[in-house]
Amino acid sequence: MSFFKKLKESISNQTTSVTEKFKEGLTKTRDSFAGRVNDLVYRYRKVDEDFFEELEEILISADVGVSTVMELIDELKDEVKKRNIQDPRDMHSVISEKLVEIYQGDFDEENSLNLQETGLTVVLVVGVNGVGKTTSIGKLAHKLKQDGKSVLLAAGDTFRAGAIDQLEVWGERVGVSVIKQSEGSDPAAVVYDALQAAKSRQVDVLLCDTAGRLQNKVNLMKELEKVKRVIEREVPGAPHEVLLVLDATTGQNAMSQAKTFTQATDVTGIVLTKLDGTAKGGIVLAIRNELNTPVKFVGLGEKMDDLQEFDPEQFVFGLFSDMLEEAEERKED
């Protein structure tokens, strides 16, 4: 069975709306990245060194990341030799296949949230200001509620003006209570209050917002460590997830933020926002491959349900489905 048919079969058990969301949300990246790949395979008569050099440039400009690109190009060259590929148009499925492989790699873990079967699940949400952290918490709360979970929010970002109000607006919108103190309060104290409330109300999931901008990296680390200590003391084994929110439109800057936060705390997953707003969706692969951290959710639009669990197959299908379909039809002819 061809890669395209396997891919279609693999995503067929998911709802059509999810597939459409990925296709729609990746329009900018598809028009830029996939469009340039398509142009490349039709301009070349053979798969040679010049072809790979140009492909390398396309991948780097899509923010795939230099080390990931080098690895991918080497693997593609090996595959071309192995399969004796002469026609550049046969490269569509090989490139797509390798992108899925690079994302999944040797990692068996699920992209889904580590929710506890019994008792409270505590999720710590970190990230710099302006990346869409509070919005992501609101959308995640909505998603969990849709899945039948009871949710509570902790307004732990007490330093940014308006952060508490913004979280409250989201709480009202999705019908979830927010535990808060006044602006400038100790974030660890807010989280402590929220933990007590979550336990007494027997909620399923507590989502904790955290400060996104402190004077320097040392302060940021100390603050996060303090919050984590309180969580660990009150709920052994928690936090069950530490989600880092990154803005896809900032490209390599998002990578440097990710490195800072992974040094400060044990990040278990990435929430990549505004993927629909960038032509450089290759950042998804760079994050996975270079940080060894799974992308768990992606923002594919402004609507409440546009925060989707990340699926590498849906991602590749969203990017290359038109081209793969065309390649498939050409084979059959």
| Known binding residues | 127-134, 209-213, 273-276
Reported in sequence order, the residue ranges of 28-181 that DSSP labels E, i.e. its strands, are 121-126, 151-154, 177-179
Phi, psi of 13 (to 5 degrees): -80, -5
Q: Does residue 34 contact residue 320 with C-beta atoms inside 8 Å?
A: yes
Q: DSSP labels for 142-155?
A: HHHHHTT--EEEE-
Binding residues for GTP: 127-134, 209-213, 273-276
Q: Which residues of 255-290 are buried (b: 16+ CB within 10 A; e: fewer)?
A: bebbeebbebbebbbbbbbbbbebbbbbbbbbbbbb
Distance CA 257, CA 121 (A): 26
Tokens of 168: 């409250």
Of 307, 261, 317, 308, which Cα lies nearest the Cα of 287? 261
Question: Is 183 exposed, middle or buried, given 0-12, 13-18 or 19+ CB atoms closer than 10 A?
Answer: middle
